[in-house]
Structure 1
Amino acid sequence: MRKIITLLYIATSLLIPFTLRGVTPSQIRWHNESTDTTKITKLLIQATDFSASNPNKLMEFIGRQFVGMPYKSGTLEMEPETLTINLDEFDCTTFIETVTALALTIEDRKNSWQDFANNLESLRYRQGETNGYASRLHYFSDWIVTNIHRGYIKEVTDRIPQSDSQIKTLDYMSHNRASYPALKDSATFEGIKNMEVGYRSHRFPYIKSARLTSKPVTNALKGGDIVALTTKIGGLDVSHVGLIVIEKDGPHLLHASSREGKVVVDKLPLAEYMRKSSNLTGIRVIRLQTQ
């Protein structure tokens, strides 16, 4: 199914043309090419025992392989914009992108770092390839919408009991231009503003934080779900992302934590984590699309 959706998207998309291409080492900014390529190959081989019919278990397995790896922000914020691969350090988004790209590569029954790099680039960039800072999917709503169209993921938030929806205009980046060095360039700034136009009064589903103590809600969450934590911050949809793991006391967050300084399974149950974070309003739930 995922491949059929992807092919239909490629065939019919006029606004966002997308073509698959091979990524060469010279087109990648590596943290450490030799160790990163070795880690990728090892992980792809380790994960081949997981059936493609259970992508959630695959996502959780891969995510747990990075527990203890250091947290580091800003690993993508280097000029010029280049596909960056770093399996030694993560922020919350690069952690999710890396896990998802590895899982997609396994689902495609591939086992090379080149296949992983192609999937990572497809997930991270609007047209499936790097074309400047504005081509990166900076807002998580944009990441979700684009990768649903490609057939990589599906959003299941509105299928979970007690879900709601909210409307926000996403313009945080253009309203905080000074916080993003790349936006000093006027053409890049215009590119970001043009992207934000598509997310004026953007409606999206979410589950309010207060409802995460409800059994019907927690029972609907699965280990390996991608969760996007929605925020009160003006102009911004999501301020943190991670994976769900199910512990004895319910769902917990497996994430690259700035507070802990590394990838962890959070000590707090998800409901308690949300309660202690005053800027968080709820969650969105995304799953890998099965083939």
Structure 2
Amino acid sequence: MKKFLLLALLLIPMLAGAQASVNWHDETRDTARINEVLKAASGLDRRVVVDSIARMFLGTPYVASTLEIEPERVTVNTDGMDCTTFVDNVLALARTVMEGRSDWRDFIYNLEWMRYRQGRVNGWPSRLHYISDWIVDNVGRGNIKEITSSLDASEYRVKSLDFMTEHADLYPALADRDNLEKMRDVERGYRNHRYPQLAVVKINKNNLAQMRPGDVVAITTKTPGLDVVHLGILTMVDGELHLLHASSKAGKVTIDPRPLKDHLRQNRSYLGIRVLRLAAD
């Protein structure tokens, strides 16, 4: 009995520390929903986990800038998501399920592990803001695989990333000189960055057949200095791939009614796509 009490006393500060390191939107609702999703997805075939979890968030309101809270900590908001937080929450949940875990604390660990450089929060610049940076870091650590270069008709592009520091007024955190200089250091690593892309005009039945529900789609843009303008997850509707995403236009997480290729071709600012897959999938 004494050993049990001692163990309990030792665990209390550890659990309190885990909670204190999180910026919660609503701790009670967030932890309950996380545990609910983990329970619902447990036991699913690994090949359908990402798609299934993504569908569990259909109807969730679109809310931008939920991560811009000081101090920089792991932020959790299951009541509102933008395209990026939707994808990273779904992947962290899926990773947790594939590990055979079912507690919100395990999800928090995986969310930090995938959202931040080398898996650890170390101030605002440690968050992987550019999707190319997020891909390089997470592929390097074995969290995700990029399959873009294996798709029929894919090609390579070269682009320098500096949009954030060139438009620092759009990012309140960059008013801090230290944050600004650290982001410039990040961007220096992405001068003349070479990355694979499947151009919108080259999407066809052959390369669509190489993709599958649960794959992450990063939509590349013509905007100078910026690599990716939108994220979503592929899902199947009536035998065709559609984009499941947090849509600012729809104001919620939704499945676009148009097949993926039609959705992409109707936006002139889109150049192409990069396709990612959870490594454990």
TM-score by length of 2: 0.92
| Residue matched to 1:251 | 241
If asked which structure has higher relative contact order (CA below 8 Å, sep 6+), I would say 1
Q: How many angstroms apart in 2 are the aligned matches of 1:179 and 1:208?
A: 28
Letter in 1 for 2:278: L
> Of residues 94, 108, 121 in structure 2, which corresponds to 1:130?
121
Residues 128-183 of structure 1 show CA distances to partners (whole Å, capped at 9, x for unaligned) of 12111101000001111111111110000011111111000011001111111110
Q: How many angstroms apart in 2 are the aligned matches of 1:143 and 1:124?
A: 7
- Whether the 8 Å CA contact 2:220–2:228 is kept in 1: the answer is yes
Aligned length: 267
> Of residues 274, 278, 281 in structure 1, which corresponds to 2:268?
278
Unaligned ranges ≥5, structure 1: 1-20
Q: How many angstroms apart in 2 are the aligned matches of 1:46 and 1:246?
A: 20
Q: How many angstroms apart in 2 are the aligned matches of 1:109 and 1:149?
A: 23
Q: How do 1:1-291 and structure 2 match up within 5 A?
A: 24-52=18-46, 54=47, 57-212=48-203, 214-248=204-238, 250-290=240-280
Matched residue of 2:277: which SS? strand
Note the C-alpha offset of 1:105. Answer: 0.5
- Whether the 8 Å CA contact 1:133–1:182 is kept in 2: the answer is yes
Over the aligned positions, Cα root-mean-square deviation in angstroms equals 1.4
Note the C-alpha offset of 1:249. Answer: 5.7
Percent of aligned positions that are identical? 43
Structure 1 segments (4+ residues) deviating >4 Å: none
Q: How many angstroms apart in 1 are the aligned matches of 2:189 and 2:267?
A: 29
Q: How many angstroms apart in 2 are the aligned matches of 1:128 and 1:223?
A: 26
Q: How many angstroms apart in 2 are the aligned matches of 1:72 and 1:255?
A: 12
Q: How many angstroms apart in 1 are the aligned matches of 2:250 and 2:56?
A: 17
| Residue matched to 1:4 | none
Matched residue of 2:209: which SS? helix
- Whether the 8 Å CA contact 2:113–2:120 is kept in 1: the answer is yes
- Whether the 8 Å CA contact 1:249–1:269 is kept in 2: the answer is no
Q: How many angstroms apart in 2 are the aligned matches of 1:118 and 1:268?
A: 35
TM-score by length of 1: 0.89
Q: How many angstroms apart in 2 are the aligned matches of 1:220 and 1:238?
A: 21
Matched residue of 1:253: which SS? strand
- Whether the 8 Å CA contact 1:70–1:90 is kept in 2: the answer is yes
Note the C-alpha offset of 1:51. Answer: 2.9
Letter in 1 for 2:255: V
Letter in 2 for 1:218: L
Q: How many angstroms apart in 2 are the aligned matches of 1:153 and 1:245?
A: 18
Note the C-alpha offset of 1:127. Answer: 2.9
| Residue matched to 2:10 | none
- Whether the 8 Å CA contact 2:118–2:137 is kept in 1: the answer is no
Q: How many angstroms apart in 2 are the aligned matches of 1:128 and 1:165?
A: 28
Highest Rg: 1 or 2?
2
Note the C-alpha offset of 1:290. Answer: 2.3
Residues 81-130 of structure 1 show CA distances to partners (whole Å, capped at 9, x for unaligned) of 12100111000000000000001101111111100000001111113121
- Whether the 8 Å CA contact 1:81–1:130 is kept in 2: the answer is yes
Note the C-alpha offset of 1:37. Answer: 0.6
Q: How many angstroms apart in 2 are the aligned matches of 1:151 and 1:218?
A: 24
Deviates more, 1:22-31 or 1:96-105: 22-31
Residues 202-253 of structure 1 show CA distances to partners (whole Å, capped at 9, x for unaligned) of 01101010122x1101111101100000000000110000001122262110
